[in-house]
Chain A
Amino acid sequence: MASVPHITVVGGGSTGTGIARDLAMRGLDVTLVEKGNLTHGTTGRMHGLLHSGGRYAVSDQKSARECVEENYVLREVATHCVEETGGLFVKRPEDAEEYFEEKLQGCRDCDIPVEVLSGAEAREMEPHLAEDVDRAIWVPDAAIDPFRLCVSNALDAERHGARVETHAEVTDVLVEGGEVTGLEVRHDSGPGKRVHGSPGGTERIETDHVVNATGAWAGRIGDLAGVDIEVRPSKGVMTVMNTRQVDTVVNRCRPKGDADIIVPHETACILGTTDEEVSDPEDYPEEGWEVDLMIDELSELVPMLQEARTIRSFWGVRPLYEPPEVGSEDPTDITRDFFLLDHEERDDLPGMTSIVGGKLTTYRLMAESISDHVCAQFGTTTTCRTADEPLPGSEDFTVLADAMKRFGLRSPVARRSSQRLGSRTESVLSRCDPNPVLCPCEAVSRAEVRDAIDQAGTDLNAVRLRTRASMGNCQGGFCSHRIAGELHPTHDEPTVDDALTELVEERWKGERHALWGEQLSQAALKYTLQATTMNRDADPVDDDVDWGAFDAGERSAADGAVTDGGRRDEGSDGGTTGGD
């Protein structure tokens, strides 16, 4: 092939953005298409655990080994996305002693660093653990921000010449002469950044190879290409707490079960999860009992969760896959390993490869493996560099501290901004003076929001994913209109209004699963601020207002002008005068 091979990656989750970056770094011409925002599918809907491998150390040692290796790689190359929390597998009196020993041995077999703690030692580390927790295994679990991770990968792919199109849904896989030759894509609002209200359109993308990295949606792309991909999507609930009850990842040490992990994440803790097969990755029930299960079960590990406040819940679908001949009944038995499906070899359809299964922790390894496969097809011999070259934001972590002083940000804001932006801190924050905080819950300033808007257009949910703005306790109650305001006047007012409505509705959807106690009061406050004070709910923008029927003020009334607004009827029964 004379020219540089053009590869089109479908899917803007961790795997897809990881593949796009890897291929672009190896010099290939890459286009990535994603039907929603980056992280729209499963990546944006997980608990943010960077596995140590401990979780799979008994049941799936191959996955466990991959996890621990990648865990240490990502600490280096994605520093600004990772919080090194450490993790505990805690054992309650009723949990089997034998399993605890198996877990310990499994970790050692897989080279996962471990330390055994007594109940007292574990409580010294995490004071809110239940009094009767009797033993624990410390492992190098960590928390990872999947949004930041994907955005950094996409940003770096672009730096290496890739084209990244979000809100671009694949509507057809073009097959000519028994070979995949391209894709038909529908743009929600025209190519480039998403802008509300701008016209969309259809585009045919000619390509030398398609990589299907759509996870739980892989079967749909397969259908369009006429091949069977039997992904078995499995849903899980995640419940977000308003604060960090623990600073270490807490896992329950038992073979398998629902509701067995608490992940500290930024300002919150995330409780997870369930594992239940669903037929449609986009349409499945989200039910209150699942939220209750998280709280009730995990309260056995951390009793204060019983009365603690949750701010929202969300569900994600795992893109589980196993070769059809295995036939596991229970989704918890399906391997967490990933599979590369070469459709030429498998279905006699050259030009497309799918990647299914796997997990966020091993996204880079998956990307490397499929990139190797693609490169081999085109005779590209460049090797993978993603294990060594830091992502944008993680290049130099020492620039942060000084920059904060220079930008005069108050220290909690400074700390949070620098954690999110990593080595980009200086360049991002220097663009705004003055630089007020727009989202106090998550300490997000105007400069960060504007930086995200540059990347994401008018899609405020994409801005949210990049900055965490509106993701804290108030769930957008105090900040959503401020964030939207930053779109104006670059974008016109109706566009800004639509963007704001979309953000408010997205926040509401998840918050509905947390509406009791403090969070119900918080939601009522948000409703009050937005409806009572701002009147967003009865905005007469689409109505004809009879201005003359309303009071124009005492000044106008004295002038005998304008209003015919009903005069007070002094004769009406009981209508007293004066306030004596």
Chain B
Amino acid sequence: MVGATRGATEGRPVAIEDDVLVVGGGLAGVTAALAAADTGVRVRLVSHKESTLRQASGVVDALGALDGTLVSDPYEAVERLSDGHPYRTLGADALRSGFDLFDGTVTGYEGSHTDANALVPTHGGTVKPTARYPESVAPGLASDDRPMLLVGFETLPDFDAPRAAAHLERVGVPFAVHGVTLDFPGNLRADAAVTRYADLLDEAVPVDGGRVDARTALVERVKSHLSGAERVGFPALLGHEAHDEVRAELSQRLGADAFEVPMGPPSLPGTRLADQLYAAMDDAGVGIETGNPVVDVTTDGERVTEVTVERTHTAVPYAAEQYVLATGGLVGKGIASNRESVRERVFDCHVPHPADRYDWSVEGAYGDHAFARFGVRIDADGRPLDASEDVEYENLRAAGGVVGGADVAAEKSASGVSLATGFTAGRLAGEEVS
């Protein structure tokens, strides 16, 4: 472990020193920070924006589809992936270790009792394979044969419950399903955020002219539509702070298990997961700084010696023995592009890509797009490789969306790639220091 901070030279702020510095605060960055902290070293995580976890649906997938076909066992399917996929580079064990870390960190998630994927109803009306899912989502699984009611709300066009039910039927789910669209209790304006719905339920706010509280009013509205359903799916807004309590009360009073259908951003299950993971980092003694971008890096050619973080227009140097790059891919803006080329934004690591930008995508919105695989390529230790396949920097590892070679959207593997690469990068970075 590094002891004292480095002395300041003229006018230059003192470098903030740690053993491991993680850049990026999504699932990969958090996993890396936790894995590194687990080895007993001093870890800091810096991220530019609010964690992308808050935008994610909250289900944690591993590997759910290959060539457009659903995969039931992700570990078995790893071998069928092409070379250069991070699962192939790091091995199925890394994936398993990543999930072990996740299971040991987070409460309120299910799925660890089996290797098999679960199929979760999506707000678009089909099912999506995933390895872990929140307890709030669990009663909705499609391999469960209990009859289902889906409930949508007039003011929430992201989830059209009758249409989703009709599509699930067409998919051939092994249960009866119907959907209904209702008015949500209370006087929310047409474009209220999902958190406003959750707040009404959290606080059991009086509605309908003060006659009843929001939970009671919701139960009353849903009840007449049950027609024998043993579980009732709502868009993911069943409470925020008190979500367990809200769900339990709705279930008990409906006489059917209330569950949540994962939604697009902003996502309450994603936010709940982010809160848990950030609390876990706190408990593990990880220093956390959000809101400040890394604007520069210093290297000696072989190793990264320092990165510069911009804090309220001041450049502050951060030094560490080991670095983990977890800034995300194209979506998270860890990977940038212009008309000619694609690059990794912080360390300018090599990102393989076709020369002609018209080869970055193909016809067909869900075709086999090269852009979906854009990112740095890593070695078995998680270290980014340059164009000649040599390690870019000895003490730099990469994790999550910034790592390329996987079309995580098509494969339903975004979370698993973050867990596998995050675990590997964090664990090895920590071990090298200690």
Contact = CB atoms under 8 A, between A and B. Distances in A.
Contacts of B128: 532-535
Contacts of B356: 288
A545 B336 CA distance: 38
Nearest to A503: B365
Interface in A541-580: 541, 543-557, 562-563, 565-569, 572-580
A540 B124 CA distance: 13
Given A434-B190, A566-B114, A489 B163 contact: yes
B251 interface: no
A485 interface: yes
A378 interface: no
Contacts of A549: 72, 116
Interface string B97-126: 100111111000011111111110011111
Contacts of A482: 157-158
A140 B337 CA distance: 39
Interface in B317-369: 329-331, 333, 336-339, 356-358, 360-361, 363-366, 369
Q: With a 10 A CB-CB cut-off, give which of A408, A529, A547 has the most chain B CB atoms.
A: A547
B339 A292 contact: yes
Interface string A221-241: 000000000000000000000
Interface stretch (A80-88, A105-113, A493-501): A493-501
Contact of B113 (A515, A521, A554): A554
Give the size range of A's interface with the partner: 35 or more
Nearest to B100: A579
A533 B57 contact: yes
Given A537-B410, A549-B116, A578-B100, A516 B337 contact: yes
Interface in B169-190: 170-174, 189-190
Nearest to B135: A554
B160 interface: yes
A536 B366 contact: yes
Contacts of A553: 110, 118, 138-139, 141, 143-144
A524 interface: yes
B242 interface: no
B124 A551 contact: no
Contact of B171 (A530, A539, A579): A539
B115 A567 contact: yes
Given A520-B337, A549-B72, A515 B116 contact: no
A65 B263 CA distance: 56
A98 interface: no
A537 B155 CA distance: 27
A512 B361 contact: yes
Contacts of A580: 38, 104
Contacts of B127: 535, 540, 545
Interface string A491-535: 011101100000011011100100111001101110111111111
A489 B160 CA distance: 10
Contacts of B361: 512, 515, 523
Given A541-B167, A544-B172, A577 B100 contact: yes
A567 B116 CA distance: 7
B384 interface: no
B390 interface: no
B166 A488 contact: yes
A556 B170 CA distance: 24
Interface in B28-81: 38, 56-57, 61, 64-65, 68-70, 72-73, 76
B191 A436 contact: yes
A1 interface: no
A485 B114 contact: no
A573 to B, nearest CB: 7
B118 A288 contact: no
B282 interface: no
B409 A527 contact: yes
A531 B331 CA distance: 13
A554 B137 CA distance: 12
B383 interface: no
Given A292-B339, A533-B128, 17 more contacts: A434-B155, A508-B363, A520-B330, A520-B360, A527-B372, A528-B331, A529-B265, A530-B365, A530-B366, A532-B128, A533-B264, A538-B64, A540-B69, A547-B173, A552-B144, A557-B114, A569-B115
Interface of B: 38, 56-57, 61, 64-65, 68-70, 72-73, 76, 91, 93, 96-97, 100-105, 110-119, 122-129, 138-139, 141-145, 154-158, 160, 162-163, 166-167, 170-174, 189-191, 262-265, 329-331, 333, 336-339, 356-358, 360-361, 363-366, 369, 371-372, 408-410, 412, 414
14 contacts: A445-B190, A485-B160, A486-B157, A488-B160, A507-B365, A508-B365, A533-B123, A538-B64, A549-B72, A549-B116, A556-B143, A562-B144, A566-B115, A580-B104
Interface of A: 288, 292, 295, 408, 410, 434-438, 445-446, 478, 481-482, 485-486, 488-489, 492-494, 496-497, 504-505, 507-509, 512, 515-517, 520-521, 523-525, 527-541, 543-557, 562-563, 565-569, 572-580
